[in-house]
Amino acid sequence: MAEFLAIHHTDASLLPCLLRRLKGRAAFGPAESAAGLGFFQSDDVLVRKRPVAGHHPTFEKLTEGVESEAAVIATGSLTRAFAEESTFPLRFKRWLFAFGGNPGSLGPAHAALIEALPASLRRAARGESAAEAIFLTFLSRLRDAGQLDNIDVSADAAAKALAAAVGAAERAFEQEGKQLPPLALLASNGRVMTALRRGHPVWVTRIDGFDECARCEIGPGSRELDPRSRAHRAVRAVVVVSGAQQNLPDQAREIAEGEIVVVPRTLDIGKI
């Protein structure tokens, strides 16, 4: 079962602190065969992926030494044997894509989705996965709108492209006389993030500063003007996480069925 956690926030240096704060609250569920991290630094999109069979991946291990204002952590793979290109999050240009649910259940949609892609994106397919085909369909919809290479694509355009990709998969299943299996999707280009729930749980929460951080050794007794304390109090973040969750912060909200969440650079949480 693939799952994801994505975070957009305002201070690249505090990514490890924010993820440490989520430790024990956000969970990925059963151990998967592979896990990956995608993150953004300047104009680069970087990935770090590894096999994790037999144990749960930890935020700290995946993000060790990483500073970024946007990151996507994901578990699960499109193949049984570990391969970096098949491990979530998938990447194309500046876009990262993560999946919640069972990617293998989408097989009946693969042929129809791939056939409808423009040749350039069809060539980008690295396997026979319908989950990857949904990602490529999302990119195709952005391309149709003239937004594929727009680094400042609007949250609305990204959300509509994600909805259209799921709609295409749903029509492919309907043609087979079947229903679309439960899934959740997330896409991020480091500046805008959008997530969609279709039968698989997704949660969204925000963090508006915090006073205590064991990693940085600050707490109630820290000096008011300590730059580290001031940075932690000022940081803002939005976190989107898939799967069954029990210990998320009180302000966390479960996304409604069929809802699309959009998070632009302002970190205001919108929905469609």
pLDDT beyond 90 at 221: no
Residue 64 has pLDDT above 90, yes or no: no
pLDDT score of 14 more than 80: yes
pLDDT score of 85 more than 90: no
- Considering only residues 97 and 33, tell me which one the structure prediction assigns the higher pLDDT: 97
Q: What percent of the chain has pLDDT over 70?
A: 96
Flag whether pLDDT at 57 surpasses 80: no
Q: What is the mean pLDDT of residues 221-234?
A: 86
Residue 219 has what pLDDT?
85
Structure confidence at residue 188 (pLDDT)? 97
Q: Is the pTM of this model over 0.85?
A: yes
pLDDT tens per residue, range 135-170: 999 999 999 999 999 999 999 999 999 999 999 999
Cis upstream peptide for 89 (omega within 30°): yes
- Asked whether the predicted pLDDT for residue 224 surpasses 80, the reply is no
The arithmetic mean of pLDDT across residues 82-103, rounded, is 93
Tell me the average pLDDT across 1-13.
Answer: 94
**pLDDT for res 84:** 85
For residue 59, pLDDT over 80 is answered with no
Mean pLDDT computed over every residue of the chain:
91
pLDDT > 90? residue 237 = yes
Any idea which residue has 């259940």 for tokens?
Answer: 105
Q: Residue 88, Cα to own-chain centre: how many angstroms?
A: 9
List the single range of 46-60, 164-178, 188-202 with lowest mean pLDDT. Answer: 46-60
Q: Tell me: pLDDT of 30 over 80.
A: no
CATH 3.30.43.10 fits 3-102+182-271, yes or no: no
